[in-house]
């Protein structure tokens, strides 16, 4: 942890509102990306991301600096996602795995947050959107323990060590779950390709 991060933490513990805003600005997109990929729904993901930061603010005293701050933050994020998944499952929420169809339009309108520097050709954009939906759908069908490792490793590109710290799982279990999750994803994708041809 560098001096800048320590100073931010001190200010957070002093409940400095500006420090909270700085923290949010620094981590918002990554936290949201995790919640979105875990939940598959933008509105739920935004709500959970907000709850994550509120929890961090409330419990910052409990962070003991034994791990990186980001690791602690992602642990809080993952726990919130798991709780929300359980809650949604209880409510039989059928929108859980729905990819928000308006998302691309919203994001492009918000300044091109998604997409490359040049707009893709319409057919390629459709292809990309279909692939996006297909992958998100496949991720949504994984059980939450497998979804966590895939999101953290393959989408967020975190190391196995970090994932072990975040999930509290041993190295072998993480690698093994990752392998099984990827197998399940591949199966799902192959089934889709089979249906299309």
Contacting residues toward another protein, per CB under 8 A? 14-17, 20-21, 24-25, 28-29, 32-33, 36-37, 42, 45-46, 49-50, 53-54, 57, 103, 107, 110, 113-115, 131-132, 135-136, 139, 143, 145-146, 150, 153-155, 157, 171-173, 175-186, 189
Whose Cβ is closer to another protein: residue 119's or residue 172's? 172
Question: Least Å distance between CB 175 and another protein?
Answer: 5
Question: Least Å distance between CB 66 and another protein?
Answer: 25
Whose Cβ is closer to another protein: residue 34's or residue 88's? 34
Whose Cβ is closer to another protein: residue 1's or residue 113's? 113
Is residue 137 within 8 A of residue 191, CB to CB? The reply is no
Question: Least Å distance between CB 171 and another protein?
Answer: 7
Whose Cβ is closer to another protein: residue 14's or residue 123's? 14
Distance in angstroms (rounded) separating the CA atoms of residues 125 and 104: 10
Tell me whether residue 131 is exposed, middle or buried, using C-beta atoms within 10 angstroms of its C-beta: 0 to 12, 13 to 18, 19 or more: exposed
Is residue 62 within 8 A of residue 180, CB to CB? The reply is no
Question: Least Å distance between CB 81 and another protein?
Answer: 13
Is residue 38 within 8 A of residue 148, CB to CB? The reply is yes
Residue whose pair of structure tokens reads 């939450």 in the numeric block = 144
Residue 34's CB is within 10 A of a number of other CB atoms, namely 27
Question: Least Å distance between CB 158 and another protein?
Answer: 12
Nearest one of 37, 36, 31, 34 to 55, comparing CA atoms: 31
């Amino acid at each position: 942890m560098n001096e800048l991060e320590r100073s931010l933490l001190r200010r957070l513990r002093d409940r400095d509102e500006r420090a909270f805003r700085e923290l949010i600005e620094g981590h918002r997109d990554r936290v949201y990306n995790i919640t979105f990929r875990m939940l598959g729904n933008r509105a739920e993901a935004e709500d959970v991301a907000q709850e994550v930061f509120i929890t961090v603010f409330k419990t910052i005293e409990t962070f003991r600096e034994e791990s990186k701050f980001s690791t602690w933050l992602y642990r809080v994020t993952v726990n919130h996602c798991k709780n929300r998944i359980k809650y949604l499952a209880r409510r039989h929420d059928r929108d859980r795995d729905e990819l928000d169809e308006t998302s691309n339009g919203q994001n492009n309108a918000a300044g091109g947050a998604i997409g490359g520097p040049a707009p893709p050709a319409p057919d390629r954009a459709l292809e990309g959107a279909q692939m996006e939906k297909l992958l998100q759908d496949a991720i949504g069908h994984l059980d939450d323990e497998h979804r966590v490792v895939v999101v953290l490793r393959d989408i967020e590109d975190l190391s196995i060590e970090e994932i072990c710290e975040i999930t509290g799982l041993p190295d072998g279990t993480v690698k093994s779950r990752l392998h099984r999750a990827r197998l399940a994803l591949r199966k799902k994708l192959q089934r889709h390709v089979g249906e299309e041809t």
